[in-house]
Amino acid sequence: MPISDFTAKLLELEDVIIKDISSSDTEIHVFFSLKRRPHTCPHCSSVTEQIHDYRTSIIKDIPFMGKKSFLHYSKRRYHCSCCGKHFYESFPLLPKHCRITTRLAFYSIHLLKNRYSVHSAASLLGISDSSVFRRLKDICYPKPSSLPKVLSIDEFKGNAGSQKFQAILTDTEHHRLFDILPSRSQTSLMRYFQQFPNRKKVAYFVMDMNQVYRDLALEYFPNAKLVIDKFHVVRYVTWALENVRKRIQKQMHPSKRRYFKRSRRLLLTHRKKLNEEGVLALEVMLQQSPDLATAYHLKELFYEFMESESREEAVHRLKFFRIAAQASELEEFDPCLTMLANWAKYILNAFECPYTNGYTEGTNNAIKVIKRNAFGYRNFSNFRNRIFLALT
């Protein structure tokens, strides 16, 4: 087999005749032409082998051995003796009116899967940002046709399509992204959910403490059990404890104030997870204020409630916590008690449901990375395609 054939095989250029290859520290230039063969005229469908002339095109190709690749393609222009028209020979790697190969375009999309920004991918491959965006628009992720059994919803700050927040829907049971919506408003969510015929088949609706989500779920998913994710519940208690610490900290000497601020993790960590040294340091902190000791005790009671193994046990522990919080008369815990009064029914459902919002929150973090790398997206369609491309 000729050396040129081995080179063509290495470069994955089939049915080509390589004439020359030049190389520098950063670039590889391949000069080639295609094997001559009969062509069908696109105008009159007659077959011809008559060549009118040759023209050279310089095409950007996928990088090879860490270097940018350029194909110098000597392409034939055929003459049709039946209709008198001229046309170029076909080349599978090169779409019509393009100066980059198909595989380079697909490779740019592959880089976006690895959470490169569009500009970074374009710079790495030596092509324009608009070339990558054109390929991104060619990718279509249609709206799903049916809702999953376990549906989770959350929002994230996107700023795309003139909307401040976008909504994310996930299939929590199978850990997959379900859809990205341009707005989290009640009107837009209502229009979206109305289009699904299997709304009654949704068994669980996992959400945070958002009244809009609750009202929608009650109206559109009559057979679904509403579940509040535990993460959003624990935050209220940790915020209350932090507010007590800050109040007491302001009354202390500056040296003690700095110590308290730096040791806040001791207060937030579950007592049984502290080592002996941490327990001793914690006891010193709690001796500084009865209010702080009470707030810490309430936090520990709530952690025990969150560790309940059944709904019955959770109901008992939650009742004990609420009585203790009311008896403490700490104003910082009032928002927590109000939250429990409004949402306790759905929080307790979490102890009978094996699903949480963990996958959705993780997906949200990945979306924030994509958005930050790109310095934001203004076009929602591009943003949605970008998210699906990276996360599916």
Q: What is the pTM of this model?
A: 0.78
Q: Is 144 within a domain? A: no
Beta strand ranges found along the chain (DSSP E): 16-23, 27-34, 39-40, 47-48, 51-64, 67-79, 86-88, 150-157, 165-171, 176-181, 204-207, 225-228
Please check whether residue 278 lies inside any domain of the structure.
Answer: yes
- Please give the Cα distance from 230 to 216 (Å, whole number): 20
Q: Is residue 366 part of a domain?
A: yes
| 359/218 same-domain check | yes
Angle at CA of residue 371, ends 368 and 376, nearest 5°:
135
Structure tokens at 217: 């779920």
pLDDT tens-digit series, residues 19-30: 888 888 888 898
Same domain, 199 and 237: no
Cα separation, 126 vs 131, in Å, equals 10
Q: Tell me the CATH number at 367.
A: 3.30.420.10
Q: Encode pLDDT of 31-60 as tens digits.
A: 988 888 888 888 888 888 888 888 888 888
Q: Are residues 34 and 70 located together in one domain of the fold?
A: yes
Question: Are 27 and 104 in a shared domain?
Answer: no
Same domain, 224 and 364: yes
Q: How far apart are CA 68 and CA 259, in angstroms?
A: 56
In which domain, by residue range, is 130 found?
100-139
Closest to 38 in 3D by CA, of 81, 98, 95: 81
Choose between 192 and 117: higher pLDDT.
Answer: 192
Query: Does 241 share its domain with 345?
Result: yes
Count structural domains, the chain.
4
Residues 261 and 323 in one domain: yes
User: Do residues 225 and 241 share a domain?
Assistant: no
Give residue-wise pLDDT tens across range 246-297.
888 888 777 777 777 677 788 888 888 888 888 888 888 888 889 989 999 9
What span, in angstroms and rounded, lies between the C-alpha atoms of 82 and 351? Answer: 79
In the listed set 67, 98, 129, which residue is the last one of a domain according to the structure?
98
Q: Which of 232, 178, 179 is nearest to 357 (CA)?
A: 232
CA 145 to chain centre: 21
On whether both 246 and 339 belong to a single domain, the answer is yes
Q: Could you tell me if 225 and 359 lie in one domain?
A: yes
